Amino acid sequence: MTEIKNSTCVRLTDENSIPAVIREMTLQEKASLVAGVYPFETYPVERLGIPKLTLADGHNGINVFHLLCNYRGHAAARLGMDYSGRDAWRRLCSGNGRGVKALFDNTDDDPVIKEQRPGLEDFYGVISEILRREMPAGLPSCLPPGLVMGATWDPELVAEVGKVIALESRACNMDIMLGPNVNIHRDPLCGRVFESYSEDPFLAARIAVGYIQGVQNEGVAAVVKHYAANNQEHERRGVNARITDRALREIYFPAFKAAVVEAGCWMVMSAYNGVNGKPCAMHPWLLKDVLRGEWGFRGFVVSDWGAAYDRVEALRSGNDLEMPGPVNVQVTVDAVKNGELDEATLDECVGNILGVMLKLPVFKGAARHELDRDYSINMARRLAVEGTVLLKNDNETLPLEKGRLAVFGDNAREPISTGGGSAGVISPYVVSVLDGLSARYGEENVSFGKITDDTDLVVMCVGVESHEGADRPSMDLNADDLLMIKNTARQCRQKGKKSVVVLNVCGPVEMAGWVDEVDAVVLPWLGGMEMGNAVADVLSGDATPSGKLPLTFPKRYKDVPAYLNFPGEFGEVIYGEGIYVGYRYYDTVEIEPMYEFGYGLSYTTFELSNLKLGSETLEIKRDGNLGVSVDIENTGRRYGKEVVQLYLRDVESTIRKPAKELKGFRKVALEPGGKQTVSFNIDPKALAHYDAKLGGWRVEPGAFQIMVGVSSRDIRLTAEFIATGPNPYGTDEGDAASADLGW
């Protein structure tokens, strides 16, 4: 028997209306709301004022394929047809986006469309009409992905990036943007390293907070993902990650906790993988005890697409919305009817979704944003410049303000703007390095593939892409690219020419085999739609390189801390390295990397001086804090930016700790001769470690060393202070008890 409720006076208006609205909803409506109606759309209940919500990726630009999945459903519904041409659809949505552009223009410029159109003229015609109506500003902008955001070390800049992505989302009538991806770079081969920020939890957290605030300040919901410990693509749907509590708390949780506690992120996405025996979407400890109980999360949890392997268990565990829709509606209805699922639990999930809905543009009747494309383009270029890392610059090879360039490498014409998968963005254009250099230096001064006597600089471009769903097999460059570098570098030596390699890569690559044969190396990573212009800005000196590595470039993959435990086997991956991820490992075991965490050169030089501590001691109590200041001066001849980095070392500790941990950073810009004092504040939490035996954070009193530098290994100044307070590991019972600060 179908419940019929047709109240006309109850409507979703504010938080107070939610209980009455839920009481008015039928079981079918509730089960539909928590299950989605299209792959990227939720179920509306117009009679109660519950609108549909439109979601899509992603972190660095709107993934038009996601919205097309909705438009396909809308078109099929309008034409009363059951379109299930999944294979054609998948083929349309793969590759270089030619199919999307053909759909936009309603042409047959794509073989899949051409092949499929006969008999489906109306269908493709309606989709084209919807596409043009829903995306009046045209295809979305592709900004550089998360790794480049991490490489800027500039949370304020990344907040502006978040704003651009929010505005691009609103231009497509979206309410929820499925990002940021904050998963820690446990291993450089993970296929999604390009998407997330860093190997370090402190840097990842600062960048995440900036980004999320930038997005949500525009009224769009950000979705911090993938909670938790989604650090590989191999067997991602179901691999069980075995991680110590300490590693979870000190390495894999901080960016999520900061997203919720500091940035007030409205949504969290549960990950495909499991953690310590339970899939994340069915993990009450993760989704209720920690996320809501400890961190006070009040938004709602959406599963990764297809990650709610047991729908009813997921609802019970606190996973509010399962995507993609529409799936498992009847499963949920039946579970309530047969008593397997308490309806109150379902009501709680519905309430969490409605609570966030009240904040979103669609609920507030906000008009679609009229996109200012230039704003997006300028931000794309600015982010690409700020995230570009100068790795090598012997004998001031760079910058070259003017001159004749000889460009080599297929990648110079075929730029990789971002990685593949949900973070893929089909943008109207991508500026190649060749085009960027020609625009900056003049077509007549840029040749391809040939060094002449009047060549001033040889530019070798190489690319390595990666994508969701697979991890990289190695850090190796493509064989052709490596051969091109070797051959071209040899020519340069024979002809006495300076050379630079441009790395359009998705993460750390093997460099030991060739780096000594070239004069300079510039790392724009996957540089978005404006990459070519950004590379030209940096090579010419129009912009100063100021990116810093957000993850270590190891000399060889075997040096990587997770090497023996990645990507696991037989459905299990053991995080045997514990908290020793990235530089925490290399610096503790003293393995020399190719380039260290926090490293990046500039076209000028900087000097740090005058390190001062506000006190010689720091009392370990809730409001304890220690002021630290240091002076930085631009001692070179050019304007430049530098990132002052502050690391802490526990000089003597009962619990083993890494050789250093990042606890502060600040990016400063200075003219030649310019000087600035940078201040930090160290509170007891910065000294703390997680003690799984005691079940909480603790600070052990004693000596701590402050290290201030411009990379994790280029430490310029140090100082020590004493932490004073109760000793959790002392013999005094009272001490041990009062050492628990309740964090």
Burial class (CB in 10 A: 0-12, 13-18, 19+), 494: exposed
CB 147 → ligand GLC: shortest distance, Å?
Answer: 15
276 closest CA partner among 718, 573, 632, 664? 573
Q: Distance between CA atoms of 53 and 34, rounded to whole angstroms?
A: 12
Choose which of 29, 110, 235, 304 interacts with ligand GLC (CB under 6 A): 304
- Give 237 or 242: the residue with its C-beta nearer to ligand GLC: 237
The correct pick among 422, 432, 488, 565 for binding ligand GLC (CB under 6 A) is 422
- The amino acid at residue 231 is N
Amino acid at 215: V
CA-to-CA dists, residue 653 to 25, 59, 698, angstroms: 57, 39, 11
Nearer to ligand GLC, 225 or 382 (CB): 225
Give the one residue of 305, 514, 575, 721 binding ligand GLC; rule: CB under 6 A.
305
712-to-259, 315, 549, 634, 635 alpha-carbon distances in Å: 25, 44, 10, 20, 21
Minimum Å gap between C-beta 426 and ligand GLC is 14
Residue with tokens 């979103």: 360
Closer residue to ligand GLC, CB minimum distance, 212 or 485:
212
Nearer to ligand GLC, 235 or 587 (CB): 235
Q: How far is the CB of 158 from ligand GLC (least distance, A)?
A: 18
Q: What string marks each residue from 127 to 166 as x (binds ligand GLC by CB under 6 A) or -?
A: ----------------------------------------
The C-alpha atoms of residue 546 and residue 642 are separated, in whole angstroms, by 6
* Edge-to-edge strands, sheet with 267-270: 55-56, 176-177, 221-227, 267-270, 300-303
Residue 175 sits in the site that holds ligand GLC (CB under 6 A): no
Q: At its nearest, how many Å lie between ligand GLC and the CB of residue 471?
A: 14
Separation CA 336–CA 320 (nearest Å): 15
Closer Cβ to ligand GLC, 424 or 664, answer by number: 424
The 10 Å CB-count burial string (b at 16+, else e) for 315-339 is bbbbbbbbbbbbbbbebbbebbeee
Q: How far is the CB of 57 from ligand GLC (least distance, A)?
A: 5
Closest to ligand GLC by CB, 419 or 547: 419
Phi first, then psi, for residue 61 (nearest 5°) are 155, 155
3-state secondary structure of 608: strand
Q: For helices 343-357 and 329-337, what crossing angle results, to 10°?
A: 140
Q: Which two tokens stand for residue 401?
A: 């303000």
Is 324 or 726 the residue whose CB approaches ligand GLC more closely? 324
Instruction: Compute the distance between CA of residue 179 and CA of residue 225 in angstroms, rounded to an integer.
Output: 6
Q: Which of residues 650-689 bind ligand GLC (CB under 6 A)?
A: none
- Tell me how far, at minimum, the Cβ of 225 lies from ligand GLC, in Å: 5
CA distance 480 to 244: 42
Verify binding: residue 59, ligand GLC, rule CB under 6 A.
no
With a CB cutoff of 8 Å and minimum separation 6, the contacts of 86 are none
Total site size for ligand GLC, rule CB under 6 A: 7
Q: Note the maximum CA span of the chain.
A: 87
User: Shortest approach of ligand GLC to residue 41 CB, angstroms?
Assistant: 12
Measured from the CB atom, the residue of 93 and 120 that comes closer to ligand GLC is 93
304 is catalytic: yes
Q: What is the smallest separation between the CB atom of 139 and ligand GLC, expressed in angstroms?
A: 18
67 makes contact with ligand GLC (CB under 6 A): no
Q: Is 178 in the site for ligand GLC (CB under 6 A)?
A: yes
Report if residue 225 touches ligand GLC, rule: CB under 6 A. Answer: yes
Minimum CB separation from ligand GLC for residue 634, in Å? 41
Q: Indicate the residue among 304 and 530 with the shorter CB distance to ligand GLC.
A: 304
The backbone region for 325, taken as left when phi is positive above 0, alpha when psi lies in -120 to 50, beta otherwise, is beta
Quick one: which of 24, 29, 41, 57 contacts ligand GLC (CB under 6 A)? 57
Q: Which residue's CB is nearer to ligand GLC, number 219 or number 421?
A: 421
To the nearest whole angstrom, how small is the minimum distance from the Cβ of residue 322 to ligand GLC?
12
Active-site option among 175, 200, 304, 587: 304
Q: Encode burial over 627-647: b for 16+ CB neighbours within 10 A, e otherwise.
A: ebebbbbbebeebbbbbbbbb
Q: Which is nearer to ligand GLC, 66 or 663 (CB)?
A: 66
3-class SS string, 496-557: CCEEEEEEEECCCCCCCCCHHHCCEEEECCCCCCCHHHHHHHHHHCCCCCCCCCCCCECCCH
Tell me the one-letter amino acid at 451: I
Cβ partners under 8 Å of residue 50, min gap 6 = 12, 21, 33, 44, 354, 357
**In the complex, what is the shortest distance from the CB of residue 145 to ligand GLC, in angstroms, rounded to a whole number?**
12
Q: Within 10 Å of residue 370's Cβ, how many Cβ atoms?
A: 10
The 253-282 contact track toward ligand GLC, x by CB under 6 A, reads: ------------------------------
Indicate if the alpha-carbon torsion angle 487, 527, 562, 652 is positive or negative.
positive
**Closest C-alpha to 188, from 608, 604, 511, 473:** 473
Interface ranges with ligand GLC (CB under 6 A): 57, 66, 178, 225, 304-305, 422
Catalytic site residues?
Answer: 304
